[in-house]
Amino acid sequence: AQRVTQPEKLLSVFKGAPVELKCNYSYSGSPELFWYVQYSRQRLQLLLRHISRESIKGFTADLNKGETSFHLKKPFAQEEDSAMYYCALSGSGGYQKVTFGTGTKLQVIP
């Protein structure tokens, strides 16, 4: 079974402070990991894929297979970063179903 755990329901940080949103996963094979963001009452948008190793809106995430983690980081939080963030996992190779975590609400305090 595949599982994604986001331990924090709410993370509050001050503007300019570093941000780390935690994501741990459980999967027996080779996983593909994603971060999605949902701004207030909008559709979910893809933020990052671990395969692409891109930095989007200043966010980065590194897949740590030893710790089975895929934490999302940003060095300096901005007010516009306030949103719900979901970590998601699928198997690699072909089409595999995607499992989401329960989400973390990031609140950036001005």
Chain residues in the site for other proteins (CB under 8 A): 6, 9, 34, 36, 42-46, 49, 86, 88, 94-95, 97-103
Residue 74 phi/psi, 5° resolution?
A: -150, 130
Q: Taking the complex as a whole, how short is the minimal distance between the CB of residue 90 and other proteins, in angstroms?
A: 9
Q: Taking the complex as a whole, how short is the minimal distance between the CB of residue 75 and other proteins, in angstroms?
A: 24
The answer to whether 48 touches 34, Cβ cutoff 8 Å, is: yes
Helices (H) and strands (E) in the chain, counts: 0, 11
CA gap 79, 3 in Å, rounded: 30
Of the pair 37, 77, the CB lying nearest other proteins is at 37
Q: Taking the complex as a whole, how short is the minimal distance between the CB of residue 17 and other proteins, in angstroms?
A: 25
E strands along 7-103, which residues?
A: 10-14, 19-21, 24-26, 31-38, 45-49, 60-61, 72-74, 83-91, 99-100
Of the pair 66, 93, the CB lying nearest other proteins is at 93
Q: Taking the complex as a whole, how short is the minimal distance between the CB of residue 47 and other proteins, in angstroms?
A: 9
Of the pair 82, 99, the CB lying nearest other proteins is at 99
